[in-house]
Structure 1
Amino acid sequence: MTRNEERTRNRILLVLFVGVLMAALDIAIVGPALPALREHFGIDARAASWMFVVYVLCNLVGTPFIAKLSDRLGRRTLYTACVALFGLGSLIVVAAPTYALVLAGRAIQGLGARGIFPVASAVIGDTFPPEKRGSALGLIGAVFGIAFLIGPIIGGVLLLLGWQWLFLINLPIALALIGFGVKLLPAIRAATPRPFDWGGTVVLGVILASLAVALSDLAYLLDEASVSGLVNAISASSTWFLLVLALALIPLFLQIERRADDPVLDLNLFRNWQIALAGALSFGAGLSEAVTLFVPSLLVAAFGVTPSTASFMLVPMVLAMAVGSPLSGRMLDRIGSKIVVLTGTALIATGLLLEGMLATSLVAFYGFAALFGIGIGVLLGASLRYILLNEAPAAERGATQGVLTVFISIGQLIGAVVLGAVAAARGSDVGGYAAAFLVVGVVMLALFIASFGLKSRAEELATRQQWQSGASAA
């Protein structure tokens, strides 16, 4: 690799890093703006929460569609389009005269933001040599820990100028990213695009939207009521209908995908054990990440601290996440994914089981924070995306990265409901939260055992050579 090629790749990585950071920061900095938004538009707390719900919903629904388009239209087109959507959504939020338009802007932001990360991962697969992909993915994955740390600080500073500045700041960044993206990113696209799978895209979107809204409602109901009152609450809402709708549409979706010329989700990919296992691990990582929603409540119940103090006690965990991701990326390039994933799952399982059994020990909590934080950084940062880049054909890189993101999101949604139900069943006290942590710890222990089925370093190198030989023959 020449010095010019290395310099170009570093510039590409910078463009990807800033784009992902912009999208990640938008989640972290919105929190400080909610009181000002409530006052400005005269809305209650439940209505204000839709700032997050709409964003996450469009994140989830838009991911497979945008990721698939990146395989057909090219990474440059889709990455810059996603950044443009994010900037447009920010502008709509700033200029919105009503709260309904604010939510419309957040929806557009969410659609653009969720396309940025999987497309960025696919670009790394297209432009970086295999021996450098782990480090690049690890750096991109560290963005979320960084955003969690600096987001509230940036949000607090910008809020002094007015809540609109939390979104205005995105506009010059988006314009710069579009300019550099057009100049630097590869424009590779499918040579002979087949008919787009609109049927599968629409049905999958309805499934994901129904599931996301239903699970969000369940999590909210669990937070507001005991388990004994949950059945009555659900029966009086649309939650049951949305869950049934999502489940009923799954057979139709599978049938459509089997017949599609270019399915939005290629089911044949899951015949590959490595990809199927990566999907299961991504679901487990999302399930584990949902634990962080309940840690502050556990700290309040176990140590009698204030919610504000509990939030500050999470800083070591976030620092561990920010360290775990780039560190694991470097290790992926040296020793392969199997040992790295085994280490990540073992750390998460150990941390969760430790905290579940010793929930009233402050020393155990900080041990959990370090082990869990590094483990989550390892799984979500680079290792699972590294496996998919090694196993999926180049023409499916964007789609498979998008599927990984969807599995993580579903894990987060289901995790919020399951953990809330377990905690509520025990009275939402220390014992309830400890039991919830133990449940997820057991799941991660099972995934640790399953991870022994991943390919060794030598087997990964052999797979890589097969792809390279196939590409040369083509």
Structure 2
Amino acid sequence: MSISSSTDSVPRPSLRRVVTVLMAPTLMSIMTMSMFAVAVPVIRLEYALTADVTSWLLVAYTLPFMMFMPLYGRLGDGLGKRRLLLFGIVLFIAGTTMLLFVRSLPLMLLARAVQGIGAAGVNPLAMAIIVQFAPPEQQGKALGTWNSIGPAAAIAGPLIAGAMIDALGWRSILIPALLVGFCTLVFTARFLPPGTRAVRPRTVIRGFDWGGVALFNGAVALLVFFTSSRPITGVPPLRDLRLLAAGLLLLAGFVLRVRRRQNPFIELSIFRNRNFSLASVCVSIRMLLMGGAHFVLPLFVTDLYGLPSAATGSLLMLHSGALLTTMWLGGILIDRWRSRMQIVVGLGIESLAMLLFLLLPDGAPLHRVFAILGLHGLGAGLCLAALHLYAMGAVSRERSATAAGLYSMVRFGGSMLGAAIGGVVLYAGLETHGMTAAGYRPAFLFYLVVSVIGALSAMGLTKRMPRPVE
């Protein structure tokens, strides 16, 4: 049988093979993201950017990355997950090539957006394939194993990027990203088994809710622009009411359309499930903290400690190493204990890390910064597989790609907000206190408050994870 539930006459590939193949596109996207995070302080200096504009180097990628996830998920159920995954890889390579050659900041942001659109399909499609293919008792371990390539890539990425940036400039990091992209395309096309489709592609495309896609993505983009409006319209953040009004108008139109259509772009009914909704909120907060850490900490150690790119890469490598340590363990533990406390403890550890960052005095030793970030990584890794299973176990396998797309959208929406809102808060802090520890404290306070909300939200999950819906 193929990855999609199809006929018994087709040989079923091994779970190990499927998970291994799906690690390749994940390696491609995460390694590139982690390498680019090291380059952000250098690009900020080269283009003389303020903190809120600097955040758009990340938001330009994560905003379309988030918005297109449910699109890949919905189309994956009809057009085939493998086909869409390969399309996304090609688009990611195109965006990376564009970023290598453009020089103006607007075109750089456009190239980042193309990268984000291409990479958007990796997580929802890979998750849906694994959940659909793996037996219920092996899903946690399979997801944990697949996810482990993320921090592994994020360990290697910053080290490679730091050395290359110091020696050759920040654009040099795009060369290994392109090489990995082309290898991923060949590897995935050759070894990922094709699925089966019950509906003709032309029928899926003609019947798809493209109007809903336009309304939803337009609303999300405008509301994000409102949050960090200075780089877009020149108006201070949260004050350009034109963006807010237009965003809310499109959002209202989208909700009305969902209620009237039989097969809408986003099935809001999925969010009626308690575990799916709360797991989505918690994973979004987890990613908000991750995105915030990868945005703020490189700037923090550059401004306060004067670290070169190679040392900044070592900092992010440590975080990814800590993440990897508990991510694999978390997959095994959730299969065994199936308890929400694993999520509560993980988010609680992240809250403690943000509290320690907030309390850092001026002149604190650098090793303390490294230790706190490592602690944050341990908490973030512990809860990830549990969050995936609490969410995906709440939906049937037939709706797995759709649910994975929505879940991934909310998840990485947190990463985008971590950089966008974090950039606005950081800009205000630095304007008031200058490039000091006090200037960074408002950002750490923001992340602390959000992390506590996440830990409390996890208490609303069912005490034990229910068995997956068939």
Q: State the TM-score bracket (shorter-chain normalisation).
A: 0.7 to 0.9
Give the AA of the match of 1:349.
S
| C-alpha contact (below 8 Å) 2:24/2:188 kept by paired residues | no
SS, match of residue 460 in structure 1: coil
Listed one character per residue, the Cα deviations across residues 105-127 of structure 1 (whole Å, up to 9, x for unaligned) are: 55433212111111101111111
Q: How does 1:4-43 map to 2 (within 5 A)?
A: 8-30=14-36
* Residues 344/188 of structure 1: CA separation in 2 closer, same or farther (3 Å cut): farther
User: 2:105 & 2:425 partners in 1: Cα distance?
Assistant: 35
* Residues 329/51 of structure 1: CA separation in 2 closer, same or farther (3 Å cut): same
User: 1:296 & 1:87 partners in 2: Cα distance?
Assistant: 26
* Higher relative contact order, chain-length normalized (CA < 8 Å, sep 6+): 2
Aligned mate of 2:85, from 75, 79, 88 = 79
Aligned to 2:187: 177
User: 1:399 & 1:444 partners in 2: Cα distance?
Assistant: 27
User: 2:466 & 2:144 partners in 1: Cα distance?
Assistant: 18
- Is 1:127 equivalent to 2:133 in the alignment? yes
Give the AA of the match of 1:151.
G
| C-alpha contact (below 8 Å) 2:158/2:317 kept by paired residues | no
- Is 1:263 equivalent to 2:273 in the alignment? no
Shift of 1:359: 4.5
Shift of 1:262: 1.5
| C-alpha contact (below 8 Å) 1:60/1:208 kept by paired residues | no
Shift of 1:217: 4.3
Listed one character per residue, the Cα deviations across residues 51-83 of structure 1 (whole Å, up to 9, x for unaligned) are: 655433331332221121112222222222222
Shift of 1:420: 4.5
Between Structure 1 and Structure 2, how many residues are aligned?
Answer: 442
| C-alpha contact (below 8 Å) 2:284/2:413 kept by paired residues | yes
Aligned to 2:305: 305
Aligned to 1:410: 413
SS, match of residue 456 in structure 1: coil
* Residues 454/324 of structure 1: CA separation in 2 closer, same or farther (3 Å cut): same
Give the AA of the match of 1:252.
G
| C-alpha contact (below 8 Å) 2:148/2:324 kept by paired residues | yes
User: 1:434 & 1:18 partners in 2: Cα distance?
Assistant: 38
| C-alpha contact (below 8 Å) 2:35/2:160 kept by paired residues | yes
Q: How does 1:234-245 map to 2 (within 5 A)?
A: 234=235, 240-245=241-246
Aligned mate of 1:401, from 404, 412, 424 = 404
Aligned to 2:123: 117
Q: TM-score, normalised by structure 2?
A: 0.79
Give the AA of the match of 2:244.
L
| C-alpha contact (below 8 Å) 1:83/1:178 kept by paired residues | no
Q: How does 1:354-393 map to 2 (within 5 A)?
A: 354-359=356-361, 361-362=364-365, 365-379=369-383, 381-393=384-396
Q: How does 1:429-448 map to 2 (within 5 A)?
A: 429-448=436-455
- What is the RMSD of the two structures over their aligned residues, measured on CA atoms? 3.9
User: 2:114 & 2:423 partners in 1: Cα distance?
Assistant: 30
- 5+ residue gaps, structure 1, are 222-231, 469-474
Shift of 1:214: 4.2
| C-alpha contact (below 8 Å) 2:140/2:335 kept by paired residues | yes
- Is 1:150 equivalent to 2:156 in the alignment? yes
* Residues 190/284 of structure 1: CA separation in 2 closer, same or farther (3 Å cut): farther
Aligned to 2:71: 65
* Residues 430/305 of structure 1: CA separation in 2 closer, same or farther (3 Å cut): same
Aligned mate of 1:353, from 352, 355, 365 = 355
User: 2:160 & 2:297 partners in 1: Cα distance?
Assistant: 24
Shift of 1:177: 2.9
Q: TM-score, normalised by structure 1?
A: 0.79
| C-alpha contact (below 8 Å) 1:134/1:332 kept by paired residues | yes
Give the AA of the match of 1:176.
V
| C-alpha contact (below 8 Å) 1:87/1:171 kept by paired residues | yes
Give the AA of the match of 1:378.
L
Aligned to 2:277: 276
User: 2:324 & 2:300 partners in 1: Cα distance?
Assistant: 23
Listed one character per residue, the Cα deviations across residues 143-164 of structure 1 (whole Å, up to 9, x for unaligned) are: 3322332124444569869847
Listed one character per residue, the Cα deviations across residues 404-442 of structure 1 (whole Å, up to 9, x for unaligned) are: 232233333433454455553562542343343234323
| C-alpha contact (below 8 Å) 2:286/2:454 kept by paired residues | no
Listed one character per residue, the Cα deviations across residues 128-178 of structure 1 (whole Å, up to 9, x for unaligned) are: 111111122223323332233212444456986984734541453143234
* Residues 326/237 of structure 1: CA separation in 2 closer, same or farther (3 Å cut): closer
SS, match of residue 415 in structure 1: helix
| C-alpha contact (below 8 Å) 2:55/2:419 kept by paired residues | no
User: 1:23 & 1:275 partners in 2: Cα distance?
Assistant: 25
Higher fraction of helix:
1
User: 2:88 & 2:444 partners in 1: Cα distance?
Assistant: 36
